[in-house]
Amino acid sequence: MVSDKLLRCGFHTQSARELATTIIGTRDGVRLRTAIHELQVGDCLAEGSAARSPQAASGQSLCYLLAPAPVIQATAAYPHGRRPTTRWEIKVLTNIMYVTVYVTDQDRALKFYTEGLGLEKRVDFQGRESRWLTVGVAGSPVEIVLWPHAPAAGQPVEPRLGVDPGPLILESDDLRKDFEVLRRRGVTFDRPEPEDYPFGVGIEAVDPDGNRISLRQQRRPNRADG
């Protein structure tokens, strides 16, 4: 059946049989695209260019014709007609769901991240073995897991002031203004005030467990920058 599809697209009999034999036993995305690439689909398409249908206008179109749905989704990211050069070009991950900050007291951490930094409480579920507690920035899909753990877990052994980022980097549109608001709320910082850097403005807040939360304002280009 696969070889019939290829023949209808204008492939010569031998090319169709070779491709069909390979594709029938190759149903995962990486191996399928690698097999098509190694068999030089572009050359085969050139052989049958006069007779093949418009749907087979490229190696990418061939994948749409023969591949199962997950492979079709993976190939959608490639430019028209472009062959992959390595298997690492196949898209396999889609989103950042959670990041984890280790804390020794979840209630204390929740108060700091919501009342201090102003984040939203997202999920608070007590399971059989642990409490699943998350917070997040308003409007952002990423959730921060406040996970119970031993002190100093996930922190640098000897953090370098102003060099090592914290486990979280949160963005501000006006960091110096927000810094004053957070300081009035009782948030502790590792320096007296935000500092200018080539990328913009930055400072590190410190949570009750010593986790350094990097606060950043990106540098806005001006006319002098071109």
Antiparallel, parallel or unpaired: β 188-189 and 195-197? unpaired
Whole-number Å distance between alpha carbons of 104 and 141: 25
The answer to whether residues 125 and 132 touch, using CB atoms and an 8 Å cutoff, is yes
pLDDT means per 10 residues in the chain (226 residues)?
Answer: 53 53 51 49 43 43 46 48 64 89 95 97 94 96 92 58 74 97 96 93 93 91 58
Q: What is the pLDDT of residue 91?
A: 78
Q: Give the pairing type, strands 143-148 and 131-136.
A: antiparallel
Predicted confidence at residue 171, as pLDDT, reads 96
What is residue 166's predicted lDDT score, i.e. its pLDDT? 73
Q: What is the CATH number of domain 98-218?
A: 3.10.180.10
- Give the pLDDT confidence score for residue 213 in this predicted structure: 93
Predicted pLDDT of residue 98: 96
Quick one: pLDDT at residue 173?
Answer: 95
Q: Where are the beta strands (DSSP E) in the chain?
A: 98-103, 120-126, 131-136, 143-148, 168-171, 188-189, 195-197, 200-206, 212-218
Short-list 155, 143, 141, CA closest to 104: 155
* Backbone phi and psi for residue 189, each to the nearest 5 degrees, phi listed first: -125, 160
Q: Where are the domains of the chain?
A: 2-89, 98-218
